[in-house]
Amino acid sequence: ALRKGRRRKPMFTVKRLSDTANKGPNAMKNCLIVDDSRVIRKVSRHIVETLGFEVDEAADGQEALTKCDESMPDVILLDWNMPVMSGIEFLTKLRDRPDGRAPKVVFCTTENDVAHIREAIDAGADEYVMKPFDHDTLQIKLQLVGAA
44-55: pLDDT as tens digits:
999 999 999 999
pLDDT at 122 over 50: yes
pLDDT at 18 over 60: no
Euclidean distance between the first and the last CA atom of the chain, given in angstroms as a whole number: 40
54-to-21, 28, 66, 83 alpha-carbon distances in Å: 11, 7, 18, 25
Tell me if 59 sits within 8 A of 82, measured CB to CB.
Answer: yes
- SS3 of residue 125 by DSSP: coil
pTM for the full predicted model? 0.81
Range from 17-21, 51-55, 56-60, 107-111 carrying the lowest mean pLDDT: 17-21
pLDDT at 33 over 60: yes
Runs of H (alpha helix) within 15-77:
38-50, 61-70
pLDDT of res. 111: 78
- SS3 of residue 67 by DSSP: helix
